[in-house]
Structures are given as structure tokens and as C-alpha cells.
Amino acid sequence: MKKVLVLLLALVMACASFTSCGCQEINDLEKIQESGKLVVGVTVYKPMDYIDEETGEWTGFDAELAQAFAERLGVKCQIVIITWANKVAELNSNQIDLVWNGMTASDELGESIDFSVPYAKNAQVAVVKKGSSLTKDSIKNAKIAVEDGSAGHTVAEETIGATNIAKLTAMNDALNEVKGGTSEVAIIDLTMAESIVGKGEYADLEILSGASYGEEIFAVGLRKGSDLKAELDAFLKEKYADGTLAKLAEKYQVVLNEDALK
């Protein structure tokens, strides 16, 4: 019976910590200096974080910045691939220190984790088959594919008000739905759409003109109350001021969120 109680208690505590505000200051700086490495959680996401085919090393707008930030802290940068849906659990369970992956800073997410200065911006776009007769107004009643829990998912549900939504585990799956004809529209990131739609396997798809929604801002995710935030914000502003960010943005075709970085 005692063990049952302990188990139940553990469950209750687990639920509590999922929802707790975590108001206390968290000494991440000390922890990182001690372990000698900054662990950054990413998914393979061009142009933010991906592996250079020639060198086999991580590269991309976010990866380069993360490495520069680790260097500034005087530690090694360890980039690990995570499952995107688990990012909050990864942070709260101390498996990773930062989520640096072109992450949209939404209000809901802001309740569980902290954000850095929003350094870049993006929009959600509708992708359809080339020659599709759908328009911005008619996609409301079309079959829409999205990545479950992504910003595109919110746009499809709230902004477009669609009811026929297929929730997939990745943005690529949403594109595959449109390619395969099981859905008519995919709502995905502009950054991602620009880099793969109309090329390779997705040559027969196109971005629906005029259907751009909810401009959003990208930020780095931190544990709630992490003392790393001040350091990170100072780093980003400094890199903006000295022109490094503008250079990277041009190299990787990312749109900087200049208002916040000034």
C-alpha cells in the first residue's frame, strides 16, 4: 500500500511540476560552466539547424549562433536532435539547456518556458498542388494538413477556422499529404516552404499566393527563470550591433526581427 501511495504522490508531483510557474531563479550558468558544455536541442530544420553534407558538422543560422554563444561562455556546444513535441519536457528535465531551432515564441509556450529576445521572424503559408483552383477564401472548407502542435496548426484552427484538419507529426508529413492527394492544403513555415517547395520531390507543389498568416517571431527557449537569459540577450544584441547577424541572415535567408534587437 505504501508503494502505491509513493507512486501516486510521484504522479501528482509530476503533474504539479508540468504546470508550476517555476518562479525561482535557476542557476544554469553555473551548471553549464561546471559540466563544460552547453546542450542545445534542435530538429533538423533548414536553414536553422542542419548537417553540412561535406563536413558532417552542424551548420545553419541557429547552429552557428549557438556555437558562437557556447564559445563566449567558454564551453563546448553539444547539439542534440530532440523530438519537437517534447521540447518543454526536454528543458524541464534538464536533458537540454536551450531550444534553438527557429522556435515560434507563442503565448502558450511562454507559460512553460522563457524566451530570449525574438531575433527573427516568419509567417505561415498555405502550400497547394500546382494549378489548384483553391484561393485564400476557399481553403477554409478544404482538407488541411498541419504538423500537430505547430504554429501552422493554430493558424488552421483559429485564423482560417478550418474544421477538416489532419494533424501529422512533421511538416514534411503535411507536405506528403498534399503531394499524395490525401489533403489539399498544407499550412507550414514560410522559411521551410521557401527552401523545399517547388524542388525535388515537392516540385509539383507551390505556395498559394496571398495566403500568408500570423507573422510570428523566433526566439531561443530557456528553462523558466534561467539566469542564462540575460547572457543570451546581451549576446544576441551585441551580434546584431556588430553586423554578424545581418551577415548570417543573408547567408541563410532568414528575416531578422530588427525592432527587438536594436
Residues that bind other proteins (CB under 8 A): 3-4, 10, 13-14, 17-18, 43-46, 50-51, 80-83, 86, 89-90, 92-95, 170, 172-173, 175-176, 196, 199-202
User: Shortest approach of other proteins to residue 104 CB, angstroms?
Assistant: 18
Residue 216 region by backbone torsions, left for phi larger than 0, else alpha for psi between -120 and 50, else beta: beta
Neighbours of 55 (CB within 10 A): 8
User: Shortest approach of other proteins to residue 22 CB, angstroms?
Assistant: 11
Question: Of 43 and 191, which has the nearer Cβ to other proteins?
Answer: 43
User: Shortest approach of other proteins to residue 179 CB, angstroms?
Assistant: 9
- Supply 2's cell numbers: 505504501
| CA 219-171-99 angle, 5° bins | 25
Question: Of 95 and 209, which has the nearer Cβ to other proteins?
Answer: 95
Question: Of 93 and 135, which has the nearer Cβ to other proteins?
Answer: 93
User: Shortest approach of other proteins to residue 81 CB, angstroms?
Assistant: 5
Crossing angle between the packed helical segments 61-73 and 28-35, to the nearest 10 degrees: 80
Question: Of 61 and 202, which has the nearer Cβ to other proteins?
Answer: 202
Q: By the 8 A CB rule, do 115 and 183 touch?
A: no
User: Shortest approach of other proteins to residue 78 CB, angstroms?
Assistant: 10
Residue 138, amino acid? S
Question: Of 84 and 235, which has the nearer Cβ to other proteins?
Answer: 84
Q: By the 8 A CB rule, do 197 and 205 touch?
A: yes
